[in-house]
């Protein structure tokens, strides 16, 4: 790909042809505030915060939607730019609730951090407010349109990334809002709850219901989703040794941050009270009885009793060794697991073949 050279804030930089001014700024490590841009989405030019001055250009073009050309000289923080984007920000905030302390996005809000960068410290325009009911119809996320700044990221994520078009801009002027067909609750739309709109929302207009329960997470672990065979990269968010959230891993080429409903919202089972926390063994085994003597499965003999690892593994090892020596290796069947790690599957195969001596090992690939 051929290259071109531009100058940003007196810094010369070489960028691939086809880049936008915003791409060039990112490559040069020059920060341009924006609320409607995402590298995965087509440029949109809605928030007007990425305006720049370009020598020889009239007015203030938006960096996200202006293609960079050879020799371009760009200024990202001239007095004219600063004044202009402060006005844009003031207008954006004129009908935005400013009770940040009680907002689920507090400290994790693009609107907040961009406002801080732009230098907005008060709310000069006290405009009319838009009053909407919060739509909580979706089990996984809520929609609080009073906080919406109409950046359109959710609409574009649903269209360009999820290919679903469940939501769109509706109405006009001040009454504009993001809506479903016929303005029905989101749960009655074609939404598949992938959560990408929530992921991209720069405010708390879209928020995960799980995030309402706790404060910000303190740890992150990049891993692979446990559900289907696509193998999406996930980032597990943790706090106090528990998972409190999950999102797609943008650095994983398989999904580039995308997930389905199960990947993003299906992690609760990990910490469900039903988890087996101690080894369990039937009472008859602890009593050294024969299984054939346990005729009634409702009797005490068949009770599952909590025990320690030594006890359960010794009983198991003894039984397997005895059955192998009495009935032959092929009398033991191994079902390994398509949910477990590669390393664990290898060990099951080694246990069956090396230690027991049978090829009778299989898993649910057929089911």
Q: Which residues, numbered 331-360, are part of the site for other proteins (CB under 8 A)?
A: 331-360
Beta strands 242-248 and 233-239 are antiparallel
283 binding other proteins? (CB under 8 A): no
Cα torsion for 285, 287, 289, 291, to the nearest 10°?
-30
Which residue is listed with tokens 């602890």? 286
Residue spans of beta strands (DSSP E) within 57-140:
73-75
Shortest distance in whole angstroms from residue 71 CB to other proteins: 32
Q: Which of residues 296-325 bind other proteins (CB under 8 A)?
A: 297, 304, 308-309, 312-321, 323
Shortest distance in whole angstroms from residue 220 CB to other proteins: 8
Cα torsion for 231, 237, 242, 245, to the nearest 10°?
-80
Q: Which of residues 100-159 bind other proteins (CB under 8 A)?
A: 139-140
**Part of the chain binding other proteins (CB under 8 A), chosen from 18-26, 49-57, 66-74, 279-287:** 279-287
69 binding other proteins? (CB under 8 A): no
C-beta closer to other proteins: residue 59 or 241: 241
88 binding other proteins? (CB under 8 A): no
Q: How many residues bind other proteins (CB under 8 A)?
A: 115
Beta strands 219-224 and 177-179 are unpaired
What does DSSP assign to residue 129?
P
Is the Cα dihedral 113, 119, 120, 122 positive or negative? positive
214 binding other proteins? (CB under 8 A): no
C-beta closer to other proteins: residue 172 or 366: 366
219 binding other proteins? (CB under 8 A): yes
- How many residues are present in the chain? 367
**Part of the chain binding other proteins (CB under 8 A), chosen from 46-54, 72-80, 81-89, 224-232:** 224-232
Separation in Å, CA 227 to CA 125, 197, 260, 266, 340: 49, 21, 10, 9, 11
The answer to whether 332 and 323 have CB atoms below 8 angstroms apart is yes
C-beta closer to other proteins: residue 83 or 280: 280
Shortest distance in whole angstroms from residue 211 CB to other proteins: 12
Site string for other proteins, 184-213 (x = CB under 8 A): --------xxx--------------xx---
């Amino acid at each position: 790909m051929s290259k071109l050279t531009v100058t940003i804030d007196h810094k010369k930089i070489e960028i691939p042809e086809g880049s936008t001014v915003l791409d060039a700024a990112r490559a040069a490590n020059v920060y341009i505030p924006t609320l409607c841009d995402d590298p995965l989405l087509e440029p949109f030019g809605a928030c007007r915060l990425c305006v720049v001055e370009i020598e020889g250009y009239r007015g203030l073009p938006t960096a996200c939607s202006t293609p960079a050309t050879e020799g371009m000289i760009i200024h990202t923080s001239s007095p004219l730019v600063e004044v202009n984007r402060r006005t844009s920000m003031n207008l954006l905030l004129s009908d935005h609730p400013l009770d940040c302390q009680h907002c689920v996005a507090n400290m994790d809000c693009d609107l907040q951090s961009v406002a801080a960068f732009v230098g907005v410290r008060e709310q000069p325009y006290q405009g009319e407010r838009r009053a909407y009911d919060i739509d909580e119809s979706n089990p996984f996320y809520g929609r609080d349109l009073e906080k919406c700044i109409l950046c359109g990221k959710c609409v574009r994520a649903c269209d360009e990334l999820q290919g679903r078009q469940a939501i769109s801009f509706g109405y006009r002027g001040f009454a504009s809002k993001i809506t479903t067909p016929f303005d029905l609750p989101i749960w009655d739309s074609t939404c598949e709850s992938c959560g990408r709109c929530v992921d991209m929302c720069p405010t708390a207009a879209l928020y995960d219901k799980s995030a309402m329960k706790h404060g910000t997470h303190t740890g992150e672990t990049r891993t692979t989703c446990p559900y289907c065979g696509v193998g999406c990269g996930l980032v597990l968010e943790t706090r106090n040794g528990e998972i409190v959230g999950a999102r797609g891993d943008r650095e994983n080429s398989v999904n580039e941050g995308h997930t389905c409903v199960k990947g993003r919202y299906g992690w609760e089972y990990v910490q469900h009270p039903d988890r087996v926390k101690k080894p369990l063994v039937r009472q008859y085994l602890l009593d050294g009885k024969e299984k054939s003597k346990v005729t009634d499965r409702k009797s005490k003999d068949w009770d599952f009793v909590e025990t320690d690892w030594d006890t359960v593994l010794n009983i198991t090892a003894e039984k397997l060794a005895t059955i192998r020596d009495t009935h032959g290796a092929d009398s033991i069947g191994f079902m390994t697991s398509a949910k477990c790690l590669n390393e664990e599957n290898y060990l099951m195969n080694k246990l069956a073949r090396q230690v027991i001596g049978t090829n009778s090992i299989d898993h649910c690939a057929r089911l």
